[in-house]
Amino acid sequence: MNDQGQPLDGYTVRVRSANNNAEITQNLFYFTPFSLNSPADASAVSTNYPNFDFSVNKQRLNLQTNLTKYQVLIRKIEENGAGAWETYLDAVPVDHDGVYETTELYVTYSENSSRISVYSKLRPLQGAYEWKIAALDKEDHVQETETRKLYVNTSIPERITSSFPLTILSISGVKNVNLSTYNLVTIQNTYFTQSPNPVIYGIAYVNANVALTLTDRKCLSTSIDQSLCTKSYSTVANQDSRYGINIPSGDLRAGTLYTANASVSLHDFYNQLPPFTLVRGSVGN
């Protein structure tokens, strides 16, 4: 352990626990490092049989003596959340020279069995998952790595995160604009502008794409083709993190209620402001 009580790289620990009568009951084998190499977190692969690569302590004899096996654990990510953890690959040997292969899995060992890669031969994956590696010692204690996300033959969803902000500083003809993903409680439901062609100006990360849609609510209730009710605009934040969206004359009819949706994206990062109402002039009948 270091001065902060953290385990030092390259060390193994056996902890003997005692019951209330001070009788020694079990030994827990703990080792570090125990880390994931690939796939990287939130990466996408095009094969239904992804390869899982991880590294373990280089003390080969200690691992041989104290561990029984490694496992690959997964859980499916659905729209309503993640499912239960399950053992995807079991009985991965702790130590081997070169290649270990069965009808179920294929494992390669390198660096004196301190780096291990394994993939399934029988269980294809499809969709979004969380995964991790588990090591079981000879008294059935379990040590696990960190958890990563993996997208198998599916698109990577946009990540909504408060640390990827979008702010609207001003809208032509509107007073006291305060629209920001950093401060959602100050956002008003409705903003009125007298400008026939307002400019929406704000801040986003450099090179981020800022998108705005305006949907005519009355049109939604009367038009057969509702796609005609929405107008879309987009721009890219400049090197000063500023952007501007110009709404052309004629796109905002006086007295009409428009639902405005503003969002920002860059690579797989995404954020959006809550929908708000934009009105030119006063509200019509």
Q: pTM of the prediction?
A: 0.54
Q: What is the CATH number of domain 166-280?
A: 2.60.40.2550
Tokens 């083709």: give the residue.
225
Local confidence pLDDT in tens for the 285 residues of the chain: 444 444 444 556 555 544 445 444 466 788 889 999 999 887 888 899 999 999 999 999 999 999 999 999 999 987 666 788 999 999 999 999 999 999 999 999 999 999 999 999 999 999 999 999 999 998 889 999 999 989 998 876 655 566 789 999 999 989 888 799 888 888 888 999 999 999 999 999 999 999 999 999 888 877 667 778 889 999 999 999 999 999 999 899 998 999 999 988 887 788 888 889 999 886 654
The per-residue DSSP string of 86-154 comes to EEEEEEE-S--SSEEE-SSEEEEEETTTTEEEEEESS----EEEEEEEEEEETT--EEE---EEEEESS
Give the three-state DSSP class for 278: strand
Q: How many CA atoms lie within 13 A of 275 on its CB side?
A: 9
pLDDT of residue 52: 97
pLDDT tens digits, one per residue of 7-26: 444 556 555 544 445 444 46
12-157 under CATH 3.40.50.170, yes or no: no
Whether the domain at 12-157 and the domain at 166-280 fall into the same CATH topology:
yes
What are the structural domain ranges in the chain? 12-157, 166-280
Give the three-state DSSP class for 184: helix
